Structure 1
Amino acid sequence: MPAIEFQKVNFKYRVQSQATLHNVSFAFDYGQKIIIAGPSGSGKTTIGHLINGLIPQSVPGEYSGSILINGKDAAKMDIFQLSFEVGTVLQDTDAQFVGMTVAEDAAFLLENENTEHSQLLAQTENWLKELNLEALKKHSPQELSGGQKQRVSMAGVLSSDSKILLFDEPLANLDPASGRLAIQLIADLQKKLGLTVIIIEHRLEEALRIQADKLLVIDHGKIIANDIPDRVLTSAAVISAGLREPLYITAMRDAGVDLNKIAHITDLASLDHQAIKRQLSVWLEKKQPDKTKKSREPILSIQHLSFAYPKQAVFSDLNLTFPAGQMTAIVGKNGSGKSTFSNLVTGFLKPDSGRILFDNQPLDGQSVKERADKIGYVLQDPNQMISQNIVYDEVAYGLKLRGLSDDQIQAKTRTMLEVAGLDNMRHWPISALSFGQKKRVTIASVLVLAPRVLILDEPTAGQDYLNYRSLMNFVAELNRTQDCSIIVITHDMHLMLEYTDRAIALVDGQVIADMAPAELLNDPALLKRASLAPTSLYDLAESTGLDAVALSKRLVQEEMTRG
């Protein structure tokens, strides 16, 4: 008997005219690790919500077919009963917390079951110890890092003794090092407890480190691949679905390596390194000279800046200069000062000392609104920015406030909606959008104003590869043609490598690196200090004895030619 079985399942949301899932059938066995991947709107999250009962019990819609969970008909169980069959860790962990402390949150389900007190304490302590949360049990969940929040959510669902765990984009809000630790923790728990683990994720390079038994790819509501990862990755399914394959596979494919002759492509150690090196070497020789941007006058300068929260110092004598027309990535672990930096530049926070200059003019005394005319800022959480009910109105809102004519507003808004991949949703209510779609709306609402400096806080969070490329290509075009300086705060090492000219690594408010992205990504010592992680290109270079920086730059050139 499979742990989970879908038989000819169709589903249509009440607010939509077209079905989201079409005749979906699959079976997941007990003890398997499964990755469900697909672009935004493909139906992968819908499958997850059907598994845990959020659909149709909390999200209305029409579905047909059969869904069996542990051999039981999901249609005959309410959401409370299903919570004991399937434990779910949401992408937005804050939305999952109910306790005032970590310990209270971990014990919540047991309390609702009226578990005897001594047993409740014993089980709670067991999961806190298992997930390395003992030292944090009296802390509020909201004050923890992204990785710690995820472990608290896991403690809460594991207390149900469910043997099926569902993770909805577990890597979305984690820095690269924390993401790898999370995947390793999930793998360790799966092995130790014999769990069936389902991971909904489009970041395949990181997710595949769990050594999944199955990779299911869904596109436009239909399953286009459901097999062991080795076979799926050597087929065209991942690329045809608009997903990003692991970078080392892309490099080998671009170099002309016949992937169909590689039996275990997920295992780098098993590859014929010498044969692959020969083909990669020929490919590297075709590399074009690097295009360097001319040095420009500073558009934004940070001079001797210091800032501290009431109980935490962040910056002390920070000095940074951002030349006009540059694309810069600011990277580092959660809590390193990246978001604080943005809030200081945009005026939401005031420095304790030091100056911030825009075009050699001090910003002291300028309001948030005055700065917003020069410096656009897209927050990490789209829900903190959205003020309108309809997608079109949200993107057009800033133009309306600036008094543009209706014709100008419509032309600029429709152009931006098309670039952001949102034009077909322009009449949708914001409430019907996914987190990733909301993110695209907020980015579009700022980009439509054409600011001279644009700060993007985690712009690719929740974005699939096609939407990521569409948005970042537009941002890069804005940088080239409108002379807009871009500052990207990101955990996405692919974005940093492909699109930015410069990488600044922050650790505890201090700049530990300011260099070319390819150089940073291939310096393991710096990456470790910044809680970052090398891409699979570094692993490929190490195994073949090739220069990792040259390999990274060559792939970027190839990616840019694809557009």
Structure 2
Amino acid sequence: MKEPIIKFEDFGFQYDAQAEPTLKNINLEIYPGEKILIAGPSGCGKSTLTHCMNGLIPFAYPGESTGKLSIQNKETKKLSIFEISRMVGTVLQDLDGQFIGLTVAEDIAFALENACVGQEDMKKAVRQVARQVGIEGHLEHSPDALSGGQKQRVSMAGVMVNEVGILLFDEPLANLDPATGKKAIEIIDRIQKETGATVVIIEHRLEDVLWRDVDRIVLMKDGRIVKDAPPDELLSTDVLQENGIREPLYLTALKYAGVKITPECRPRSIRSLTLTEEDQKKVRNWFHARKRGKEKQEGKALLTADKIDFTYENGFHALKDIRISIDEGELLAIVGTNGAGKSTFSKVVCGFEKQQLGTLTFQGQDMKNYSIKERADRIGYVMQNPNQMISKPMIFDEVAFGLRQRNVPESEITPKVEEVLKICGLYPFRKWPVSALSFGQKKRVTIASILALDPQMIILDEPTAGQDYRHYTEIMEFLNELHGRGITVVMITHDMHLMLEYAQRAVVFSGGQVIANDTSANILTNPEIIERANLKETSLYDLSLLCGIEDSNVFVQHFIDYEKEEKRG
């Protein structure tokens, strides 16, 4: 019988700065060659569990551990972080924080340089691992010049070159467009099969990870393991919803239709799902019993872009003849592949960049002479990377910064800041330093700092990246309330669930052009648009085909409408 490659025995851990243990009575065995998904709400301890496995605890994050943790039959308490790094490689969520070299080749070679490997052997190993992850054509490029998906491949190569037996992936899908995320899961799966490495994935986007099979799902809550089971078994229960994790959309739809989910129907993936004719009939009956929603009424334009054209100084033609009208009080999604022009368009709107051609109007007024401040008084912008926005060491001061710049009295600032901190799930941390927060929590701080300024329009670049389902829902429900009160919300997102669930309309960018402007349901059931824009078809589309429903776009829209009724009455 195989010995576990990672073994936790009654393991607990408490950070020096905290009054209570973060991990409690962890008993977990992971075997060589297994692929494990660790899921759970924010603060459940899954990142701490990962840091215990890769040596960051206790070497970077001091604290007291109880029980025993062994890796390859060696107790970690007796190992140095260097010794652990020879067994465990980690691909971080914040990819920019992992790069060291000036070029891709230098970055991949870093571990080999530290091990004093000879030049020729080093070059051979770098080329080999670069081929494995599909980045061999970018070895001379700067990591900063790469897309999110390419950066992730470089990070993978940087840990694989050390020939470690265990690979940890901390939210590998964060900030990747849907198709690139899909490819990332495929690459992780292929690497695991080719190398035989043990793979541990920490991720909120459970359905996307399950695009390729995993051996087990480990579900955590409040520092404990609440479920450890094969996917078919776990997905046949309600344990995900009970613990704040979103289940795959096709399973939710099946439950709405009255279909009982069992391990025998192989629910781990829409590709493996097997339904009886009776179950398919239930889905068709549920679909036909639904009524079509009301057609969207024409609104009053708030922001209009007409023939916008923009080229960067390096010659990259980022925006080509962009024509968009955004209505007052609308909740709009902007989607598309990395580098399609979504963020560039937002920068032009906010005045960070100046278009060479075309006109932008806000409430009918030409914005060409508006300063950045005048635009910021009307339009709030939340950047994708929170580290590029935060300027104060303390959370409260960061959220209050914009109000203080506007000379708002302190007596008004405190209740306003506390209100938005509560909305963004950060009130318990109001006196904390920003440096103590996770990447996802920093994201919420930046959203709070903009919301405090009461803009007429708010543009959010990946508002839910790194958020668990509960915090995702809290933020989106608040944005939905703002939209309901007449504030216009524009979301640049790679999250197809978010687009489906909340956006009234979606604009699709590809190659610097707008290639679609339609409802989310129509876009995510259009194979041509999905392929051109690096999107990913919703599993609801596949479910409708499986059940013999021809009007897939209508089926998806019915699901969205039903979800809104169930959640919001």
* TM category, shorter: over 0.9
* CA shift digits 1:51-91 (9 cap, x unpaired): 00011101122221111111111111111111110011111
Distance 2:408 2:292 in 1: 44
Check if 1:434 corresponds to 2:438.
yes
Tell me if structure 1 keeps the 8 A contact 2:303–2:327. yes
Tell which deviates more after alignment, 59-68 or 174-183. Answer: 59-68
Say which of 307, 310, 315 aligns to 1:307: 310
Q: Does 1:415 align with 2:426?
A: no
Distance 2:559 2:16 in 1: 44
Number of residue pairs matched by the alignment? 562
Indicate the residue corresponding to 1:504 in structure 2: 507
| Counterpart selection for 2:358 from 338, 348, 354 | 354
Q: Which residue of 2 aligns with 1:275?
A: 278
1:199 alignment partner in structure 2: 201
Q: Find the counterpart in structure 2 of residue 372 from structure 1.
A: 376
TM-score by length of structure 2 reads 0.96
Stretch of structure 1 that moved more, 506-515 or 16-25: 16-25
Q: Match for residue 107 of structure 2? A: 105
Q: Contact 2:10 / 2:25 at 8 angstroms: preserved in 1? A: yes
Structure 2 counterparts to residues 11-410 of structure 1, below 5 A: 11-260=13-262, 262-268=264-270, 269-310=272-313, 311-410=315-414
**Mapped contact 1:33–1:213 kept (Cα < 8 A):** yes
Alpha-carbon distance in structure 1 between the residues aligned to 2:273 and 2:463: 36
Q: Which amino acid aligns with 1:188?
A: R
Work out the CA distance in 2 between the residues paired with 1:440 and 1:45.
Answer: 18
Give the superposition deviation at 1:292.
4.1
CA contact (8 A) 2:402 2:449 kept: yes
Structure 1 Cα separation of the partners of residues 290 and 409 of structure 2:
48
CA shift digits 1:91-148 (9 cap, x unpaired)? 1111111111111111111111111222112111111222222211111111011111
Is the counterpart of residue 543 in structure 1 residue 546 in structure 2? yes
Distance in structure 2 (CA, Å) of the matches to 1:14 and 1:289: 57
Q: Post-superposition shift, 1:410?
A: 2.4
Aligned-partner Cα distance in 2 for 1:246–1:172: 17
Aligned counterparts of 2:446 and 2:135: Cα–Cα separation in 1:
35
1:257-313 deviations in Å (ceiling 9; x for gaps): 111364521144451252222211232244344244432221101122111012211
SS in 2 for 1:538: helix
The 3 A distance-change label for structure 1 pair 300 and 270 is closer
Residue of structure 2 in register with 1:492 after alignment: 495
Report the more deviating stretch, 259-268 or 550-559.
259-268
Q: After the TM superposition, which of the residue ranges 310-319 and 176-185 deviates more from structure 2?
A: 310-319
- Hey, what's the Cα distance between the residues in 2 that align with 1:302 and 1:34? 46
Q: State the distance in 1 between where 2:293 and 2:85 align.
A: 54
Note the alpha carbon deviations across 1:393-427, whole angstroms, 9 max, x for none: 22222223333333432222222122111111111
CA distance in 2, matches of 1:173, 1:78: 32
How many Å separate the matches in 2 of 1:412 and 1:292?
A: 37
**Segments ≥4 residues shifted beyond 4 Å:** none
Distance 1:384 1:339 in 2: 14
Distance in 2 (CA, whole Å) between partners of 1:205 and 1:232 is 13
Instruction: Give the equivalent residue in structure 1 for 2:452.
Output: 448
For residue 486 of structure 1, report the CA deviation from its aligned partner. Answer: 1.1
Q: Distance in 1 between matches of 2:159 and 2:452?
A: 42
- Counterpart Cα distance in 2 of 1:58 and 1:291: 55
Q: 1:396 to 1:292 in 2, by over 3 A?
A: farther
Secondary structure at the residue paired with 1:62? strand
Tell me, yes or no, if the aligned pair for 2:359 and 2:368 is still in contact at 8 Å. Answer: yes
Aligned-partner residue type, residue 522 of structure 1: T
1:270 and 1:531 mapped to 2: Cα distance? Answer: 24
Q: Which residue of 2, 9, 12 corresponds with 2:11?
A: 9
Asked if the contact 1:273/1:544 (under 8 Å) is kept, the reply is no
Contact 1:273/1:543, CA 8 A, preserved across alignment: no
CA shift for structure 1 position 557: 2.3
**TM-score, L = length of structure 1:** 0.97
| C-alpha distance after superposition, 1:163-191 (max 9, x if no partner) | 11000000002100001111011111111
Asked if the contact 1:205–1:536 (Cα under 8 Å) also holds between the matched residues in 2, the reply is: no
Deviation at 1:455, TM superposition (A): 0.3
Aligned-partner Cα distance in 2 for 1:153–1:161: 14
Distance 2:165 2:119 in 1: 24
Q: What is the DSSP-based 3-state SS (H/G/I as helix, E as strand, rest coil) of the residue aligned with 2:164?
A: coil
Judged with a 3 Å threshold, the aligned counterparts in structure 2 of structure 1 residues 416 and 51 are, in CA distance, closer, same or farther, namely: same
Q: SS in structure 1 opposite 2:235? A: helix
Cα deviation, 1:230-283, whole Å, max 9, x if unaligned, reads 111112221111011110011112222111364521144451252222211232
Render the CA deviation track for 1:18-71: whole Å, top value 9, x for unaligned: 221111110000110100001111111111111000111011222211111111
For the 8 Å contact 1:379–1:385, the answer to whether it is kept is yes
Read off the aligned partner of 1:240 and give its amino acid letter.
E
Residue type of the alignment partner of 1:27: E
| Deviation (angstroms), 1:14 | 2.2
Q: Tell me how large the CA RMSD over aligned residues is.
A: 1.4
SS in 1 for 2:391: coil
Partners of 2:44 and 2:295 in 1: how far apart? 39
Distance 2:552 2:240 in 1: 25
CA deviation map 1:463-495 (0-9, x unaligned): 1111111111110110111x1111110000011
Contact 2:233 2:263 (C-alpha < 8 Å) held by counterparts: no
Partners of 2:467 and 2:269 lie apart in 1 by 27
Note the alpha carbon deviations across 1:187-245, whole angstroms, 9 max, x for none: 11111111110000010010112200010000111111101011111122211110111
Amino acid at match of 1:562: K
**Any conservation in 2 of the 1:87–1:158 contact (CA below 8 Å)?**
yes
Change in Cα spacing, 1:267 to 1:351, as seen in structure 2 (3 Å) is closer
Could you tell me which runs of 5 or more consecutive residues in structure 2 were left unpaired when the two chains were aligned: none
Q: Is the 8 A contact 1:305 1:355 kept in 2?
A: yes
Quick check: 135-144 or 385-394, which moved more? 385-394
One-letter identity of the residue aligned with 2:491: V
- Residue 522 of structure 1: how far off its partner (Å): 0.6
Q: Deviations over 1:327-376 (max 9, x none)?
A: 11111100000110111000111111222111111111222121111001
SS at match of 1:209: coil
Q: Is the 8 A contact 1:374 1:452 kept in 2?
A: yes
Give the Cα separation in 2 of the matches to 1:408 and 1:394: 16
1:522 — aligned with what?
Answer: 525
Q: Secondary structure at the match of 2:28?
A: strand
